[in-house]
Each structure stands twice: as structure tokens, then as C-alpha cells.
Amino acid sequence: MPPRPVVQSGQTLRVWQRKALMEYLRGKREDFLTVATPGAGKTTFALRIALELFGDGTIDNLTVVTPTEHLKKQWADAAARVGIDLDPGFRNADVHAASDFHGTVVTYAQVGVAPAVHKRRTLTRKTLVVLDEIHHAGDSKSWGDGVKAAFEPAVRRLMLTGTPFRSDDNPIPFVQYERGADGMARSRSDTTYGYAEALADGVVRPVIFLAYSGETRWRTSAGDELAARLGEPMTQDLISQAWRTALDPTGDWMQQVLRAADARLQVLRSGGMPDAGGLVIASDQTAARAYAKVLSDITGEKAVVVLSDDQGSSGRIATFSASNDRWMVAVRMVSEGVDIPRLAVGVYATSASTPLFFAQAIGRFVRARGTNETATVFVPSVPHLLELAAELEAQRNHVLGAPKTKEGFEDDLLERAQREEKAGDELLKGFEALSATAELDQVIFDGATFGLPAQTGTPEEEEYLGLPGLLTADQVSALLSKRQAEQVAAEKRRAPAAAATLAPEQPKTAGERRIVLRRQLNTLVAAHHHRTNLPHGKIHAELRRLCGGPPSAQATIEQLEERIATIQTM
């Protein structure tokens, strides 16, 4: 057995980590759930707890359970830096771990296959089990049952997650649930450190969402040709088909958005983040390779393609993380917990849209490094995605028994395709994307929407693509407000000239009416901001509280009209 690890001088903790550590040591609970936003430092926190428990003799063994093979080495490297030797190469067939390690790192899949092996190891030594991204223990019955059987005998269990909610009703092992007044059972955390708190502390980056709409055309399995504008109110089926059309690698929409995303990446790299990297999140292998080809044509550089969590992909992720390469394309995403701090631009090019998936994906871009770095994520202008973007700071729990709604298209098929990393024939059968063009629809930041629609390649779009990369959250809000005011003023200057030659043109479609109303609401919110100095996000939140309904990006015409009437009385 190697020497017992101890806390070394110079191992400093962030404020939230110190508070959570005191809460943990004071409570001495067998089970402790830590919910902290991606990039907050959950690994550092867990390893400090392990050092404290090694030091006072509570434990003499540490087992870390991760979702992926790649994370095993990442955990072992982090532990080694604080004096804890963990074996990431342990296999179930080994039965016993080598005696010159303080513990092991395994995956949930390993535990699910042979829980008895891990139970035997847990029984023979006083063990702390760290369950990283614990929500994965609910991914399948075998994983959940295996984790429970293997680690019930542990003297302590520490659960970590940045996304404590799931899209199903599978209970998460060792997590406590409390029933609310509505009869629903919700997960209860022992300590929580959300994105809003981390942003205020400078621990994570501000995330700016650029939402792109555009005209789409496709042919159905019945041979009918349909057209729709992405982002306009329509049925879920039409949203799904328009969304799928926009993501077609051969269409103009993806090529225009990828070109805009690379332009944004170049601004960041030339403006204080010289190694900034970009990540495209694709739905399947075919699309991923096609997007990589488009990026290669745009940039003249080959994009790194990651298709699975196998050993080769782990190496590609590590190489990309340490390199100066511009773009990576991944199926699903680079798994949560994977640390690539230089990722600063993302393209959400998948139709998976559960809150869990979205939060995990955006978590790849929030990790702060230098002072005032920002991140930018390009998303399709789809109502559900815009709502998730607007509510990035919202805290969520895992709710058992809540009614489930499907978002995106054919979620079950997509989840299978993402797990198997190939597109199911069901997704492609009888559907043909014909054309799609992109248009910058709106900018979302801190729960507020900014900007007026702008065609790709225009100076209006470039105004937003050229935002400085080194800004505080307050500076982002101020600059977006200023850009919006300039757009509105320029449009007003153009209006008299147009009126002199043309009769006033009234909005014809529901989509056009929504654009006009959203523009009017944003102008009124900006004016209220200047009068009160309240942040735009808080003004929008107060209007939602008073009037009800979703964020303005998804609000109906009637809801926008009600908010306009309300803010005029404030």
C-alpha cells in the first residue's frame, strides 16, 4: 500500500468548494450529492474530500466511477497531481486492484456488467466511492442496479453532477427524493453551485447564443413539397421537418452557419484568445463527416472528427485539447466532464433537444480560463432550443412522474442513433431536404433577446460576429444593447425614405408580425433599462412573471402584445 495521501500546502479551493467542504465534513453523511455547473471544479472538490477522509482514517480506498473511458485517465491524472494514485487500467477480469494504488477509476458500464467484482473490492476496504455525473447511473436498469449493489457497502458515497435531471423516470441510485406539494418527487442536493453564481464569481464564461432562422423546403414521403421558415410558429411535425432540412450538410443553411461560426472563431483568436477552438455537435457519423468536409473547404484546415468514446477517439480529443487546431466535429458531443478549456465557439447541429442533452452540450463551452473570456454558440431558431438557451441559468432537479413531452424529432430514434453512432434508416426514409438558407434571427444572452433579423454575409450580421471576445457579463449586455439601439436607429432613418416612395407595408405573416412585436418589446425593454439601470434579463423575467408564458423568443403574438402593454405601464 502506498503512503497515505495528505492535503499539501498550496492546494487552494474556490469559495463554493470551501463552503461545500465544510458542509460535507460537518454532516458526515454516507451519501452526499453535489450539483455544480460544468467548469466549476467538481473534480478538485471531490479529490479534496478524499484527501480529508484519507487523512483522518475514515477511508483507505477510493473508487471513482465515470461515464466514459476517456474520463478515467482524466480523473487519474487529476488525482496524481494532489498525491492520490488511481489505477485507470483496472479491468473486471483483474478481480483485485494492484496494491501500489490508492484506488481505481472504472466506468458505469464496467460496474453494470460485473457488480459482484466491485462489491467484493468495496467490502474488503473502507471505501469512498465518487460517482461522477451520477445521472448516468439511471441510463439503464443494469447500470443503476449494478451501482447500487456494488457500492451499498461503501463507508461514504459522493455523487457529482452538473445536470441533476434526466428525461425519464429512472431513479438515480443513492440520490434522495422529496415529494412536493404537487405530489412529484424531486431530487435533493446537499450543495448546489449554479451557472448564475459561477458567472457572477468569474468561474465560468458568459455564453452568447446566435440563433439562425431561414427559409426551408423539403419533400415528404408522400411526394409533397413543403416550405416553412425556421422559427415561425407551426406544428411540432413541421418544426421537426424544417429543422432537419436546415441541418442537411448539402444545404446552404449549414454552410452559411458554419462560415459565420468560423468568422466568429477568427475574431476570438485575433482578439485575445489565440488558441480558441470550435466544436460542431452532429447527430450521426454521416453528417459529422460532411460537416468536417464543409469546414475544411471554408478554413483550408482539416477538422478533427470524433465518432465514439473508443481509445482512438480519446487520443484525438487529448491531441485536439493540447493543439492549436481550429475545429472538432463530434457525434452527440464530447462527453460531459471532458475538459477542453479552449473551446469557445459551438455549433448545435443536432436535433436532440432534451434539457439534459442541451445542458451537457453547452457545458463544453463555459469553462473559464483567462479573464473575461466569452463563448458563442450557434443554434437553430427552434422554439424549444431558444427556451433552453434563454433559461441557461435555471436550476433543475430530476422529477419522477412528471408528464413527458417530445421535443425535436423522433427523440427515441435519435437517442439510439447517437448511442450507436449511426443514423437509423427510420430517420431518413421517404424524406428529402431540398433547400435551406440561413438568416441571423436573434441574439440571446442572460435570458434576454437582442438584435433584428439580418441576412448572412451582411454588415448587420458582422456586427454581432465581431463582438469582442474578452468581455464581462455586464459588458456583453451593454454592448448588445448598444448594437440593438444602433440597428433600430438605422432602420428608423431608412423608414422615411422608403415611405416617400412606397405605401407603408403591413406585416403579412404571423412570423413577420412576431418580428415586429419582438423588436418593439426589445426597444421598450432597452428604454426601461436606461431609466432604471435594471439588467435586460431581469426586466424580461419580471414581464414573464406578470404576464406568464415562455421567454420572448418563443412567445406568441398575444403574449408579446400583452408584455408590450405591461411594460408601457411600468
The string of pLDDT tens digits covering residues 54-78 is: 999 999 999 999 988 888 988 999 9
Place of cell 427552434: 382
Cα 529 from Cα 250, distance rounded (Å): 43
Looking at residue 438, the DSSP 8-state letter turns out to be -
pTM of the model: 0.78
Burial level of 236, CB count in 10 A (0-12/13-18/19+)?
Answer: middle
Calculate the average pLDDT of the chain.
Answer: 83
CA distance 376 to 379: 10
Instruction: Summarize the confidence of residues 499-505 as an average pLDDT.
Output: 47
Question: CA 51, 160, 54 angle in degrees (round to 5)?
Answer: 15
pLDDT mean over 143-169: 85
C-alpha cell at 126: 473502507
pLDDT at 502: 44
The pLDDT assigned to 194 comes to 87
pLDDT at residue 407 in the model: 45
**CA distances to 317, 377, 433 from 327, in Å:** 11, 14, 26
DSSP code at position 84: -
Q: What is the 3-state secondary structure (H, E, C) of 341-401?
A: CCEEEEEEECCCCCHHHHHHHHCCCCECCCCCECEEEEEECCHHHHHHHHCCCCCCCCEEC
Specify the residue for cell string 458500464: 109
Whole-angstrom distance, CA of residue 307 vs CA of residue 328: 11
Q: Kindly report, residue by residue over 531-564, the tens digit of the pLDDT.
A: 787 777 778 878 888 888 877 766 788 888 888 8
- Higher-confidence position of 331 and 53: 53
Range name among 181-195, 266-280, 520-534 with the lowest pLDDT average: 520-534
Question: Checking phi first, is residue 304 left (phi over 0); if not, alpha (psi -120 to 50) or beta?
Answer: beta
Pick from 337, 322, 372, 342: which is nearest to 279 by CA?
A: 342
How far is the CA of 366 from the CAs of 58, 72, 395, in angstroms?
Answer: 35, 22, 16
pLDDT tens profile 125-148:
999 999 998 888 866 677 888 999
Distance of CA 349 to the CA centre of its chain: 13
- Please give the radius of gyration of the chain, using alpha carbons only, rounded to the nearest integer: 25
Residue 379 pairs in a beta bridge with 211
Helix, strand, or coil (residue 178):
strand
Alpha-carbon distance of 538 to 524, in angstroms, equals: 14
Per residue in 99-112, pLDDT (tens digit) is 889 999 999 999 99
Phi and psi at residue 517, to the nearest 5°: -65, -40
The rounded distance, in Å, linking the Cα atoms of 552 and 539 is 11
Neighbours of 72 (CB within 10 A): 25
Name the pairing type of β-strands 399-400 and 375-380: unpaired
Q: How confident is the model at residue 414 (pLDDT cuts 50, 70, 90)?
A: very low
Query: CA-CA distance, 58 to 307, in Å (whole number)?
Result: 41
Mean pLDDT across the stretch 313-334? Answer: 85
Instruction: For residues 169-186, give the mean pLDDT.
Output: 79
Angle (nearest 5°) at CA 444 between 441 and 448:
120
227: left (phi over 0), alpha (psi -120 to 50) or beta: beta
**Separation between Cα atoms, residue 44 and residue 342, nearest integer Å:** 19
Q: Is the pLDDT of residue 355 over 60?
A: yes
- Count of CB atoms situated within 10 Å of the CB of 566: 15
Per DSSP, 505 falls in state P
First-to-last C-alpha distance (Å) of the chain: 69
pLDDT in tens, 458-478: 888 998 999 988 888 888 888
Cα 233 from Cα 555, distance rounded (Å)? 9
Question: Would you give the DSSP letter of residue 171?
Answer: P
Tell me if 368 sits within 8 A of 422, measured CB to CB: no
Identify any residues that bridge with 36 across adjacent strands, giving them in sequence order.
193
* Residues 527/468, Cβ–Cβ less than 8 Å: no
CA distance 537 to 534: 8
| b/e map 377-411, b = 16+ CB within 10 Å | bbbbbbbbbbbbbbbbbeebbbbbeeeeeebbbbb
Q: Residue 110 and residue 97: Cα distance in Å, rounded? A: 14
Percent of the chain's residues with pLDDT above 70? 85
Q: Are strands 185-188 and 176-179 parallel, antiparallel or unpaired?
A: antiparallel
